[in-house]
Structure 1
Amino acid sequence: MIRHDALDALPVRDALPGLAGALDAHGTAVLVAPPGTGKTTLVPLALAGLLGDGPARRVVVAEPRRIAARAAARRMAWLLGERVGGSVGFTVRGERTVGRHTRVEVVTTGVLLQRLQRDQELPGVDVVVLDECHERHLDADTAAAFLWDVRETLRPELRLVAASATTDADGWARLLGGAPVVEAQGAAYPVEVVWAPPARPVRPPHGTRVDPALLTHVASVVRRALAERDGDVLVFLPGVGEIARVAGQLGDLGGVEVLQVHGRAPAAVQDAVLSPGERRRVVLATSVAESSLTVPGVRVVVDAGLAREPRVDHARGLSALTTVRASQAAGRQRAGRAGREAPGAVYRCWAEAEDARLPRFPSPEIKVADLTAFALQAACWGDPDATGLALLDPPPGGAMAAARDVLAAIGAVGPGGRATERGARLARLGLHPRLGRALLDAAPAVGAGLAAEVVALIGEEPPREYGDDLAGALRAVRHGGDAYAGRWRAEVRRLRSLASEVSDAPGPPETPGGPETPEGPGRSARGPASPPVRSAGEDARVGLVAALAFPERVARADGGSYLMVSGTRAEVGAGTGLRGAPWIAVAVADRPVGRGHARVRLGAVVDEDVARRAAGTLLESREEVRWADGDVVTRRVERLGAVELAVRPHTDADPSLVRAALLDGLRREGFGLLRWPAGATVLRQRLAFLHGRFGEPWPDVSDEALHARVAEWLEPELSRARRRADLARIDAGQALARLLPWASGQAARLDELAPERITVPSGSGIRIDYSDPEQPVLAVKLQEMFGLQESPRVAGVPLLVHLLSPAGRPAAVTADLASFWKDGYRGVRAELRGRYPRHPWPEDPAGAEPTRHTNARLGR
């Protein structure tokens, strides 16, 4: 029997006529309804015609989380007075409850994507409701883009509704072709905001780390809320670890039941949370409780203000969740949980002044997450670059390029980025492409059962107490009785069925390096076949599965750490079974605060044969010639990515590679590697002066310019050089002479324009110092310049004259000799003539006779 009283109490009922009109007129609509108004439960029932009015339609409701999908289906079935599986059913990964009379089916967005890939037309479906689209999960954005494409090209009658409590309504309206925006007025009860920041500053989150002081503060705020308010308390925390820590600090609450709800919680626990309790309750939850769920009895929300979002470190090839400040939209959603059934309160564990600085909406996953699965979905859809998809935010180019590299390495896409048959099979598995590759390729080698067990273990990271040795964690979970072990067994059953189909798939095996195929050397549509290794120990077979999932994370011991074939270094913890192994395959890793290396959280021991098999596309043997340790190093290297497997000396190196190495050495260490006689250095300085004075045709002889023209001046000698010692025998002066402007005839004017020496009045030939190309220097004894009225010039530039004492020490510096004779000489004469009485110090130096000698030599 339909519960009309409960349905009539849902405020979204008043928006149903407007929604129906929008869909009749446009076929698309954006529904904005506050939390608790019934958009998730009443709207699908009305659209399906299950409330006695309107035509009968088949409605699919897409939810971002499994817990929300199950809860929404149960709530709708209860409103109809039925059991789940009648008019309302649900499908999530590994669980399906529908019947032949089901008209409303609630699915996760991942399930919806798989259906779209199997049959783009979605036959039999009349309406699709994308719920909680404000959360901007990648699967939801992708499903919306695919559905719009289907409506535009195949099924214009397909109706689409984007629904959320807090969203960018205008953006979604544009995305759905100018869809009308229908707003429902909420009848939520008032929620009082209580600002409850910590008394002392706490460290901001980094990676998955949350300051324990903040969690202690959250626990104290929960105790305060219990004392100040009535009703159950819903506490928002970023992750399972934080929930466990706060639960431990609340263990002594007399008469209060503490529950933990998150995506990993058993279905029984989730059901208990969504049902009224007999005692007062504190429900510790992640963001799964933000939307689509009503936790009965809640009058108070305590919000830690944190959330977990995916991030990818492309430089290290690592992806993980990271803790961030929750957005303003998330804060509104969380606060709304307190006002669904009665007036309530939200205790926010941050200062009011900080609230305005929070981001408005969560970061769209498409901008921050690993895009490998998305890139495969787009390739299977026929749009490898995703440029033709209707997306609120385009995927970042770098992240898409990295994703395509991974897909190409596992044979999921061909050279043009189009999905291969193997890629289409991977997309239909409902797994990340890496895990799908491991299941496909490992099942024939280690058996479908073991492959399924290991993939299920990697797919949802096990609790920390299982340890970081994958083989040990597998033995632990097989005998485990915790919630994780229960979920793992259910996933193993699902994957074993898929793996068995793969193992029994027909087709001759191929060995790596076998005949060319359209998908690459030695790779069939099923991927490179793996010879069976079932006779090997189980630990080795576990390692093979992990290595096939993460081939670029296969790592060899190198000093005190491990070097992955990707080039990233990783460290293992003390006391682990991984320590000391020559090779490991890293399944889960992160980067601790302040550390440059990754930290292995879950890995398996492997050997070199497994490494070669798993990362075979990165295996290469090549001649390496490079400048290292101050000389040319030539060798033949067999390399697995960044890991050197074997190195042999190589004496007959390619001359072009040797030349490139020598040039690299010259760039790194400079042209000082050549032999620079005194004349060569002076020639370079003279040319630099003339180039600065006249420009062309006088050559630029800076390091950058010489490197650019190395073929013109150094090539003959360079072509004969093989090592550093050969460079040291090259006369740089002779080589530089090739750059002189011989063709124009200007080279003959070198000594005229920039003479190496200049004759001064005494008759001495004094060398000019061109080390400063802006103004050359002439250092000469003062007495040798007597009688010269003006400073000497070269190429029209007055020399900077350093006038020296009889002992050769600087006495004065001038570029205007006439002015010095007139004004500066008197001071110099007064200071030096008593010190050097044997040298002439005439009162009129401009008219005196220059000399290199003392008064005695002059006969005075």
Structure 2
Amino acid sequence: MTSSPRFDLDTIGAGLPVTGARDELEAAVATGSMVVTAPPGTGKTTLVPPLVANHVGGLTLVTQPRRVAVRAAARRLATLDGTAPGGPVGFTVRGQREVGRSTRLEILTPGVLLRRLLADPELPGVAAVVLDEVHERSLETDLLLGMLAEVRQLREDLMVGAMSATLDAAAVSTLLDAAPVVDVPSALHPLTVSYAPSPSPRLDARGVTRDYLDHLARTAARAQRETATDALVFVPGAREVDEVVSRLRGLVGPGVEVLALHGRLPAAQQDRATGGRRPGEPSRIVVSTAVAESSLTVPGVRLVVDAGLSRQVRRDRGRDMSGLVTVSASRAAAEQRAGRAARQGPGAAVRVFAESDLAGMPAQSPPEISGADLTDAALWLACWGTPRADDLPLLTPPPRAEITSAEATLHSLGLVDDAGRPTASGARVARMPIGVREARALVDGARRLPGLDAARGAAEVVAAVSDDHRPVGADLPRLLQDLRTGRAPGADRWRRERDRLTRIAQEPAPPTGATLATRPSAPPLTASGAAEQAGAVLALARPERIARRTSAGARTYLLASGTRAALPEDSGLRGNEWLAVWEVQRAQGRAADGTGAVLRAAAPLTEEDAFLAGADLLVSERTAQLGNGTVRARERRALGAIELASTPVAATAQDTVPAVLAQVRARGLAGLEMNDAARALLARLALIHRELGAPWPAMDEATLLAELETWLAPQLSARTTRVASLDVAGALRTLLPWPEASELSALAPERLAIPSGSTARIDYPEPDAEDGRPVVAVKLQEVFGLAETPRLVRDRVPVLFHLLSPARRPLAVTDDLRSFWDGPYREVRKEMRGRYPRHPWPEDPWTAPATARTKRAQGR
């Protein structure tokens, strides 16, 4: 225990339901790890952190998922402690740090803590880490859980805790080495829930409808008037917050204050919304995003109005697009939102959707790791020493395809090597307090842009795209100009971030570790104008989104990733041949110009800088295709999917082989145009493999297509221009095992000797027929006296006889000739002897000579 002043838990926890579990909490902390489940409003965020700090003695770090929640929690705890933020209670968010020598409890965002871990995994000077709101399953918090579980293997003295309103406590406990679980029961006051569905749809192709926002605002104003209390209105995003605030201010009187609460607001406005109403102030309606759902409390609220919507990350891997989409909230979120109204007394919740909609909502929101762009996560994992999260304990592992794709992106950016380990540049970028792509653009832009103010120029662009500024017409240079002159909203915030990033970009790179790979220095960029320099910085961040206009005068662009997207019709960027694209979204109708996507943020790019920034995407290749019986070859140069040049050249053997094989793969084995001999050999070998297995080769289509280079490629030459001319049977014979190949004719002969003295063709089943049988179709008279049905493949497979009339029409199908002669033959004879009197139909088929001839021919 420390001799430093302790937090007064009696004062801090006064009136909080969580104080009833204080003894259990202190016992759990003493074990070195714990999991706390407590519904919103019980006071876990208020009491547990100082309780942990008192026990461990050293610095305690507590994460909150959002900057506004960090500041609100720090301010509340400092007030209860009788101090100011920066004293015993401090906080750190991106761009702001208030921590002093006396700080024993530091509240911070998960991103800040994650980068501290990467800088020094031992967390020197830290005695405890508590992760709050784990149930939100943010990507950074999920990774922190796994990383801290590993840190505890090295530092048994580090206390690690996880807290949440609703979570799978057992799974988190297992991750933290069977940490004890403390379950704090709910202490909600009586809550009345009602429903007020809108006559208009909540969502359309563009998002939340204007008619629904009108209905939501009217419902909130009416409910607040009826209850005469402070209200909290939940909407999915910042745009909806601003629109509902605007509507409400026209609906309520001067005795009601309407406030906005979301992450894009200045800190002072956020603090005003979360600080509570002072005596004598008017009633308040706070319109908020999910930031007020569970991670912070808005004091005084007795009414909640819930739109039942949320924003979630969705990844379109095929188009290389990620973004936030508006969807129905989860049932858990709806319960937490409603509970906000009954934290401090009886309350009411109005759900502005139908009661029947509640049953269709998902039980929980999906973890962010399952649907987000994992580029940042992949670099953090590489720097942690667990590329692709292999062997890292996580609640949900990253999707394999997504994490592999993210690692490939990092490699193209020069941030990881071929083995997935971080390069020197990657290690530096991972610890920077912005996204990986933005950090790479900032560092490389500061180094490669021309001019003395390169760092400032790169910082301006990164500050704009890393915040939530929206360029009109996707025109980022115009947005930057408005930010510089102060005409754009949030210009002051942008300037502060620009200056901070400029300082970061100018900091000398840390010494390169002996184990970190370095890449050769890239050549400088060429752009001299501000607009083109902005494009160059974007291209460094997202080279796969370098784009070229599809034709003169068009507003459609092809991105290097292969995605097509259109500029907005009124965009000031129209007419530029090359663009660097930061954001692209799905869209339909005229706006997308038939592409299915629209550009939302971009800047002009010179062709020289397109090639320099996208150097890893430049390819020079020779392609060949087989069409109309001729192999045609071309030499092609491209930047990703953007074709720069394509020239016809004479085909060689090196062109022919891949072209023919490509056609066969595209069309399947049917594209080989096999003759009868090849099809028969294929079927014979397939039956042998089915019955005997290895070493006889599999003959199914998937296997043969996968091994074309082994058996078909050797048959090709520069003169091969038609697939039909290939000796497919000869190619298949190269697959026969040696010395077993000598048994082929005995195991599966092409023809079967029959009693008439001739032979009959054996038709073998198709290779994919699991129970198929070899068939011999023969005139009935040719097998008189044959008692035992022949069997193939070492007597494993009986031949199925199709016994034919003299006109070669089927009379019977059997694989038991003995039974046929002794039974069904009599009925066949009775019916056929009058129809075919010139052919023998003896009473005793056992003694009659087998023949293919008529009775008269036999007599001769």
Residue identity in the other structure for 1:529: A
Shift of 1:398: 2.3
Residues 723 and 567 of structure 1, relative CA distance in 2, 3 Å threshold? farther
The structure 2 residue matched to 1:459, chosen from 463, 466, 473, is 466
Residue identity in the other structure for 2:59: R
| Aligned residue number for residue 231 of structure 1 | 229
| Aligned residue number for residue 541 of structure 1 | 533
| Aligned residue number for residue 410 of structure 1 | 413
1:551 and 1:615 in contact (8 A); partners too? yes
| Aligned residue number for residue 102 of structure 1 | 103
Residue identity in the other structure for 1:460: D
| Aligned residue number for residue 856 of structure 2 | none
SS in 1 for 2:44: coil
SS in 2 for 1:589: strand
1:775 and 1:799 in contact (8 A); partners too? yes
Residue identity in the other structure for 1:123: P
Say if 2:716 is the partner of 1:719.
Answer: yes
Shift of 1:604: 1.8
1:138 and 1:366 in contact (8 A); partners too? yes
Which aligned pairs between 1:164-243 and structure 2 lie closer than 5 A?
164-199=164-199, 202=201, 209-212=207-210, 214-243=212-241
Q: Distance in 1 between matches of 2:135 and 2:425?
A: 34
SS in 2 for 1:310: strand
Say if 2:622 is the partner of 1:619.
Answer: no
2:782 and 2:852 in contact (8 A); partners too? no
Residue identity in the other structure for 1:39: K
SS in 2 for 1:163: strand
Residue identity in the other structure for 1:598: A
| Aligned residue number for residue 260 of structure 1 | 260
| Aligned residue number for residue 563 of structure 1 | 558
Q: Unpaired segments of 5 or more residues in structure 2?
A: 1-6, 766-772, 792-798, 814-819, 844-850, 854-860
Shift of 1:480: 3.5
Which TM-score applies when normalising by structure 1?
A: 0.79
Shift of 1:114: 2.3
The structure 1 residue matched to 2:573, chosen from 560, 578, 601, is 578
| Aligned residue number for residue 297 of structure 1 | 300
Q: Distance in 1 between matches of 2:160 and 2:782?
A: 100
| Aligned residue number for residue 523 of structure 1 | 519
SS in 1 for 2:258: strand
Which aligned pairs between 1:214-613 and structure 2 lie closer than 5 A?
214-255=212-253, 256-274=256-274, 275-276=276-277, 278-356=281-359, 358-446=361-449, 447-463=454-470, 466-481=472-487, 483-501=489-507, 523-524=519-520, 528-533=521-526, 536-558=528-550, 561-592=556-587, 597-613=596-612
Q: Distance in 2 between matches of 1:373 and 1:851?
A: 79
> Alpha-carbon deviations, 1:615-640, whole Å to 9, x = none?
22222323333445764232222232
RMSD between superposed Cα atoms in Å? 4.7
The structure 2 residue matched to 1:40, chosen from 32, 45, 57, is 45
| Aligned residue number for residue 847 of structure 2 | none
Residues 737 and 451 of structure 1, relative CA distance in 2, 3 Å threshold? closer
Shift of 1:470: 1.8
Q: Distance in 1 between matches of 2:667 and 2:56?
A: 81
> Alpha-carbon deviations, 1:392-412, whole Å to 9, x = none?
223332222122222222222
Which aligned pairs between 1:459-858 and structure 2 lie closer than 5 A?
459-463=466-470, 466-481=472-487, 483-501=489-507, 523-524=519-520, 528-533=521-526, 536-558=528-550, 561-592=556-587, 597-627=596-626, 631-651=630-650, 653-655=652-654, 657-669=655-667, 681=676, 718-722=715-719, 724-725=721-722, 727=723, 744=742, 753=751
SS in 2 for 1:590: strand
Q: Does 743-752 or 439-448 show the bigger shift?
A: 743-752
Shift of 1:844: 11
> Alpha-carbon deviations, 1:333-354, whole Å to 9, x = none?
2122212332111112344455
> Alpha-carbon deviations, 1:184-206, whole Å to 9, x = none?
45544222222334457x47677
1:91 and 1:98 in contact (8 A); partners too? yes
Shift of 1:239: 0.7
1:686 and 1:754 in contact (8 A); partners too? no
Shift of 1:92: 1.0
Q: Distance in 1 between matches of 2:104 and 2:743?
A: 94
Residue identity in the other structure for 1:523: R
SS in 1 for 2:45: coil
| Aligned residue number for residue 22 of structure 1 | 28
| Aligned residue number for residue 36 of structure 2 | 31
Residues 354 and 608 of structure 1, relative CA distance in 2, 3 Å threshold? same
| Aligned residue number for residue 832 of structure 1 | none
Residue identity in the other structure for 2:145: A
Residues 602 and 151 of structure 1, relative CA distance in 2, 3 Å threshold? same
Q: Distance in 1 between matches of 2:688 and 2:106?
A: 83
Residue identity in the other structure for 1:142: L
Q: Distance in 2 between matches of 1:417 and 1:506?
A: 21
Q: Distance in 2 between matches of 1:87 and 1:568?
A: 52
| Aligned residue number for residue 794 of structure 2 | none
Which TM-score applies when normalising by structure 2?
A: 0.79
2:41 and 2:343 in contact (8 A); partners too? yes
SS in 1 for 2:71: helix
> Alpha-carbon deviations, 1:201-255, whole Å to 9, x = none?
x47677x723555434433432442243221221111111222333344342131
Q: Distance in 2 between matches of 1:698 and 1:111?
A: 60
Residues 753 and 767 of structure 1, relative CA distance in 2, 3 Å threshold? closer
2:56 and 2:128 in contact (8 A); partners too? no
1:713 and 1:736 in contact (8 A); partners too? yes
1:231 and 1:299 in contact (8 A); partners too? yes
SS in 1 for 2:326: strand
Residues 689 and 387 of structure 1, relative CA distance in 2, 3 Å threshold? closer
Residue identity in the other structure for 1:166: T
SS in 2 for 1:235: strand
Q: Does 556-565 or 61-70 show the bigger shift?
A: 556-565
Residues 786 and 457 of structure 1, relative CA distance in 2, 3 Å threshold? closer
1:276 and 1:297 in contact (8 A); partners too? yes
Q: Does 297-306 or 633-642 show the bigger shift?
A: 633-642
Residues 173 and 682 of structure 1, relative CA distance in 2, 3 Å threshold? closer
Shift of 1:370: 2.1
| Aligned residue number for residue 836 of structure 1 | none
Q: Distance in 1 between matches of 2:682 and 2:52?
A: 85
Q: Distance in 1 between matches of 2:741 and 2:510?
A: 74
Q: Distance in 1 between matches of 2:435 and 2:251?
A: 42
Shift of 1:497: 0.6
1:632 and 1:722 in contact (8 A); partners too? no
Residue identity in the other structure for 2:404: A
SS in 2 for 1:37: coil
2:440 and 2:540 in contact (8 A); partners too? yes
Residues 826 and 619 of structure 1, relative CA distance in 2, 3 Å threshold? same
Q: Distance in 2 between matches of 1:768 and 1:177?
A: 70
Shift of 1:454: 0.5
Shift of 1:74: 1.5
Shift of 1:439: 0.6
Shift of 1:580: 4.1
Q: Does 266-275 or 559-568 show the bigger shift?
A: 559-568
| Aligned residue number for residue 4 of structure 2 | none
> Alpha-carbon deviations, 1:460-492, whole Å to 9, x = none?
24236x330222221222234554323222211
Q: Does 35-44 or 470-479 show the bigger shift?
A: 35-44
Residues 598 and 802 of structure 1, relative CA distance in 2, 3 Å threshold? farther
Shift of 1:819: 7.6
